[in-house]
Amino acid sequence: MATADDVRRIALALPGAIEKLAWGMPTFRLEPRGRIFASLADDDQVMGVKCPKEDRAELIDAEPAKFFLREGHDDHYAWLRVRLEALDDEEELYAILLDSWRQAAPRKLLDAHPELAPPRP
């Protein structure tokens, strides 16, 4: 089972990542503009990550024990919640955080780390 410590360790290992407390919760951002790519809920059991709105329903339908939306809050944002205890392993946690990081990363940061850039079609 993934833990909040695992989220923190993996998120902060990504280039440009910093941790900043916001809304009483740890958030993981990219410098210099502070784009959030992940957050931890105050109970350390749930992680929020960037996810295109058009992809959320498919992920939730496929694995509702793992993915969900916080109704009334996530409705208008490209954001998805992940139950840490439902993750298969650390590789899955890394893949989710990396995908979220890629969505938040500016082009200059992606270009500086081609090994982390999304695959080109």
Mean pLDDT per 10-residue segment, the chain (121 residues) = 95 97 92 90 94 95 95 85 96 97 93 86 68
- Residue 16 in tokens: 């440009």
pLDDT of residue 70: 87
- The 8-class DSSP code of residue 38 comes to E
Which residues contact residue 74 at a Cβ distance below 8 angstroms, ignoring those fewer than 6 apart?
48, 80, 81
Which residues contact residue 23 at a Cβ distance below 8 angstroms, ignoring those fewer than 6 apart?
none
pLDDT of residue 7: 98
pLDDT of residue 118: 77
Global confidence as pTM: 0.94
Burial of 47 (0-12, 13-18, 19+ CB in 10 A): buried
